[in-house]
Structure 1
């Protein structure tokens, strides 16, 4: 970073491959994959995690102690980059955003200075890094609080795609009444041929209900029962589980590919929203996207820990999440399909996006939708202070005209 600042050379940062949505022409690319520091203190329930560590390694290290981390749908993602964007965990309704559990960060700012920041040391920089993504420096490690997890009941239920209207309608009525112990989402999925996917589900449009209950199996089963009575599932894989098997809940594809992720926070997901979504992404729509989902928000997502942060989405009821595939035979059709669904769901949108799943945003106005007006103004001010030459100008950049 000192060399880049001296030569006014722009800098890009990459760890696991997630978020490589835009071409980088010129500049210095920093890859953090060799930063594999991992220290776990089960007594105090904290872990120090290097910038190149993936969630899978952390999960396997902490699970024997009855602890868990707040990773997302795929444990193959890098822990640090995910958390800097806020982090939307599978168990978020119980424990909140991943960034809520940040205790401290080691960050190299664009002047080449290594800073140790937390709630007491440079609190504004720490606050803006909790959800502000990579605008203000290169994080080399983070100290993260761990959560105690003694019982978990979860997994997924797959319904035939032809029953999408019935399943999504039932979900829209059932999900808002769930207690905070439950985290859930539902998705229209074109299932790939992948080792993690059961053979009988390959290459067909399905409706995938994902469900997790932090607590006993009997209580979890009772909460899920209304959805088990909907349609006739092709596969019901929900039951008591070890957190090390958390990838079974979403069954994300495990093979690398050219994907773009985008989404929108929603204030509601009612019958009209169900109809609008199915018209663009349901059976017979010809939608080229491999996944279009709706995640229940609320619960601990809606609460902060009292410290300032840059996390968005606390006021949302649901989150619309979409995965587009950029393979040659669908690359041209994917961006219009994403845009069409976003337009169709605009009447239910809060107007906010999520920086970790914002796709390839356009100019500064679109970039700014990932945060509230106040947070965005603070990010722009901090960007001018810490990175006046806009060295960190790739990916999701604030200010500088986007």
Structure 2
């Protein structure tokens, strides 16, 4: 869906900004505006007053100062995965051209705000190193990490935000700050979990892991085995060591490029699995799930870490979608049965995917340097996504809300920042304890005195 376009006459105000930046600035009606203003979720229709494709961090500084002088709200996107607002009247800063990526053989990386994990994985491969990416390597490092970053190895290595060394960030007062635990402890705390509520990250520096190979992939079961696989998975999870991270996805994939014919148009269950250690040990731990029945596909094997995106095989192309999520304190066989009754085979569920992710292990441990990432004690995360033409999405969203409500007996009572964008300010607040949320709302009083990021997820003051 294209952004809503306002009358296209160029204003003297934006001409003034245009003359000061190295990047390109686009207003409604100009070529380039629609592409840059469109988020990944095509169901979200945006209408920013202008879009700046920043070429340098200095461009971001100039744009933020311009917005402050002209009373404009500011928003940011790289891949657009976190955009859930219409951005009406905002100056949208697009960071895809901030694409510098340095990987050191000594075990650290520095990435510009436009760099995706796919780029990092490729750069790390020649050194046998790994960055803690998410299930979808096509998202930006900055956006994913600032939301905490809970990926396919979270039980083994914790959250990606815990491995950040430093950020370069432009705050609402128009300053480019080099932020570390020593130089700006409050801001460093908030940027690791606070999403884009405290400024525009222009670069991230983080530690890498020596991890050339993992034992990973997915088992796919047909509809006749979905119930057995789901119940077996709920029993199997508590037996796993911290070296294993797993999730279970109930899927109804349409026939489309990239979807194997054996899965297309069918109800299936996928057991996603990543084991860090000896592949023989990884196979031994996975054996109970392989014993559930003959899988349609068994794609679990030793693979280069750079191929970790194959575990989930998340779609990269933009889609119109509705998402929902919540955290669970447990996923017992009774919870598994309840979920099957809500969205299993034969229920006519409209959801494309319903996934349960197991947490715990290293993720449940507080980092040495505290961060804004909360709810580390949740045992599981429940996430759903529906894809359809926009008029059909409200009904799918209502169905997802009913599914989440049916799991109320096992609710942990919260959500996570990277999964709550569609919930707006209320969803963002649900991602934090009251104490952490109150601290996050205090910080902008110092770093964003004009509330430029008021379209973000922290409520405007």
Shorter-normalised TM range = over 0.9
Contact 1:196 1:254 in 2 (8 A): no
Residue 334 in structure 1 maps to residue 396 in structure 2: yes
Query: Offset of 1:329 from its aligned partner?
Result: 6.3
Q: 2:170 aligns with which of 108, 119, 124?
A: 108
Q: Give unmatched runs, 5+ long, in structure 2.
A: 1-63
1:250 and 1:192 mapped to 2: Cα distance?
16
Map of 2:330 onto structure 1: 268
After TM superposition, the structure 1 = structure 2 runs for residues 86-125 of structure 1, keeping only pairs within 5 Å, are: 86-125=148-187
Map of 1:394 onto structure 2: 455
Query: Offset of 1:134 from its aligned partner?
Result: 0.7
Greater alpha carbon shift after TM alignment, 257-266 vs 345-354: 257-266
Map of 2:433 onto structure 1: 372
Report the 3-state secondary structure (helix = DSSP H, G, I; strand = E; otherwise coil) of the residue aligned with 2:189: helix
Residue 135 in structure 1 maps to residue 197 in structure 2: yes
2:70 and 2:453 mapped to 1: Cα distance?
14
2:205 and 2:134 mapped to 1: Cα distance?
18
Report the 3-state secondary structure (helix = DSSP H, G, I; strand = E; otherwise coil) of the residue aligned with 2:350: coil
Query: Offset of 1:194 from its aligned partner?
Result: 4.2
Report the 3-state secondary structure (helix = DSSP H, G, I; strand = E; otherwise coil) of the residue aligned with 2:168: strand
Q: Cα–Cα, structure 1 residues 325 and 21, in superposed 2: closer, same or farther, change >3 Å?
A: farther
Map of 1:182 onto structure 2: 244
Task: Pick 1 or 2: higher relative contact order, CA cutoff 8 A, min separation 6.
Answer: 1
Map of 1:148 onto structure 2: 210
Map of 1:40 onto structure 2: 103
Contact 2:163 2:207 in 1 (8 A): yes
2:339 and 2:445 mapped to 1: Cα distance?
40
Map of 1:384 onto structure 2: 445
Map of 1:253 onto structure 2: 315
Map of 2:59 onto structure 1: none
Contact 1:21 1:260 in 2 (8 A): no
Where do 4+ consecutive residues of structure 1 move more than 3 Å?
Answer: 192-196
After TM superposition, the structure 1 = structure 2 runs for residues 345-364 of structure 1, keeping only pairs within 5 Å, are: 345-361=407-423, 364=426
Greater alpha carbon shift after TM alignment, 66-75 vs 382-391: 382-391
Q: Cα–Cα, structure 1 residues 101 and 290, in superposed 2: closer, same or farther, change >3 Å?
A: same
1:255-298 C-alpha deviation (Å, 9 max, x unpaired): 32122333111110012211221122111212111110111101
Contact 2:197 2:453 in 1 (8 A): yes
Map of 1:307 onto structure 2: 369
Q: Give unmatched runs, 5+ long, in structure 1.
A: none
Report the 3-state secondary structure (helix = DSSP H, G, I; strand = E; otherwise coil) of the residue aligned with 1:3: helix
The alignment's TM-score, normalised by the length of structure 1, stands at 0.95
CA RMSD in angstroms comes to 1.5
1:20 and 1:116 mapped to 2: Cα distance?
25
Report the 3-state secondary structure (helix = DSSP H, G, I; strand = E; otherwise coil) of the residue aligned with 2:450: coil
Q: Cα–Cα, structure 1 residues 391 and 16, in superposed 2: closer, same or farther, change >3 Å?
A: same
Report the 3-state secondary structure (helix = DSSP H, G, I; strand = E; otherwise coil) of the residue aligned with 1:343: helix
The alignment's TM-score, normalised by the length of structure 2, stands at 0.83
Report the 3-state secondary structure (helix = DSSP H, G, I; strand = E; otherwise coil) of the residue aligned with 1:40: strand
1:195 and 1:181 mapped to 2: Cα distance?
33
Contact 1:156 1:210 in 2 (8 A): yes
Report the 3-state secondary structure (helix = DSSP H, G, I; strand = E; otherwise coil) of the residue aligned with 2:394: coil
Residue 82 in structure 1 maps to residue 144 in structure 2: yes
